[in-house]
Amino acid sequence: MKSIGFIGLGTMGAPMAMNLLKKGYSLTIYNRTTAKANELINLGAEVVSSASRVAKVVDVLFTNVSDDQALLDVFYGVDGILEGIHPGLTVIDCSTVSPETSRKIAQELAVHYADFLDAPVTGSKPAAESGSLVFMVGGDQEVFTDQAELFAALGSKSLYMGPSGSGSYAKLAHNTIVGINSAALAEGVALAVKAGLDPAQFLEIVQSGGANSKQAELKATKILERDFSNQFSLKLMLKDLLLASKLSQDFKFPSPLLNAATNLYQIGLSKGFGDQDLSAIIQCYED
């Protein structure tokens, strides 16, 4: 069995690493904040003190960190992955970052005879826990095929999207839809409440008809119970919308809905909702 590494044990990374352990893989882990590794250590993971040490000892290395800067830090920083890289290593990055960053790292790894797949996911914390993530993958198709077993261990589906950066393109386009859709849901529910309607009954109508969506299905209870505990944070959604906005500008592509949603999430962040679940965006409509 391949030896696996995991760097980035946050909301998404920790349950993914847990699933690899449960499937019997030998796992070496590193997280900047060491305390987050404790539960995994108890389940048999080996923790090491730097990203370079993980890279040195594994065949396949997953990374799942916040954003472009975090990913560049774990690769290029002191004791970063590049210091432990070896020929034949495959890195599978599940962070949502810009396609430029995915391509830059893929090119860097190729110089060292190592492979890189940009493999962001759809599905937030519950899907990470239940092993039902969907991967959208960019990079060399043969490398993707070689890792099919690992994608199957963590997700219900993995799709090859094209050359390096294609997974990141897919994820930013995907989250453009999720961000706009979540904002639309919040705005509609807030309008119904303003008009004096019962939110539970209104959400039942939404889920029964033309306004239904995955977000309406996933977030209705959270909205009704005012449970904004984090499954995918508002600030990370804003990060994705800003990356998508940059893509739109690069492509000279008009994106009025993306712009409106980005502004709304920026207001949410400035009101202090950044660490809450993205469904907390509804609070922007409340007095």
Contact set with ligand NA7 (CB under 6 A): 8-13, 31-33, 36, 64-67, 70, 73-74, 95-96, 232, 236, 240
Catalytic status, residue 171: yes
d(Cα 217, Cα 131) in Å, to the nearest integer?
Answer: 19
Which CB sits closer to ligand NA7, 187 or 227? 227
Q: Min. distance of Cβ 146 from ligand NA7 in angstroms?
A: 23
Which CB sits closer to ligand NA7, 13 or 138? 13
Q: Min. distance of Cβ 119 from ligand NA7 in angstroms?
A: 11
Catalytic residue (choose from 56, 171, 219, 222): 171
Neighbours of 77 (CB within 10 A): 16
Q: Pick from 87, 122, 125: which is nearest to 231 by CA?
A: 125
Q: Min. distance of Cβ 128 from ligand NA7 in angstroms?
A: 8
CB 37 within 8 A of CB 48: no
Q: Min. distance of Cβ 7 from ligand NA7 in angstroms?
A: 7
Long-range contacts of 216-225 (CB under 8 A, 24+ apart): 216/185, 218/124, 219/182, 219/185, 219/277, 219/279, 222/277, 222/279, 223/185, 223/186, 223/189, 223/199, 223/279, 223/282, 224/199, 224/200
Which CB sits closer to ligand NA7, 67 or 118? 67
Which CB sits closer to ligand NA7, 118 or 240? 240
Which CB sits closer to ligand NA7, 58 or 203? 58
d(Cα 96, Cα 243) in Å, to the nearest integer?
Answer: 9
Q: Min. distance of Cβ 205 from ligand NA7 in angstroms?
A: 31
d(Cα 96, Cα 168) in Å, to the nearest integer?
Answer: 7
| DSSP E strand stretches across the chain | 3-7, 26-30, 46-47, 60-63, 90-93, 115-118, 121-122, 133-138, 155-162
d(Cα 95, Cα 81) in Å, to the nearest integer?
Answer: 15
Q: Pick from 64, 285, 272, 287: which is nearest to 182 by CA?
A: 285
Q: Which residue is nearest to ligand NA7 (CB)?
A: 10
Q: Min. distance of Cβ 190 from ligand NA7 in angstroms?
A: 25
Which CB sits closer to ligand NA7, 135 or 202? 135
User: What's the maximum distance between 2 C-alpha atoms anywhere in the chain?
Assistant: 64
Rg of the chain taking only CA atoms, in angstroms: 20
Just list the catalytic residues: 171
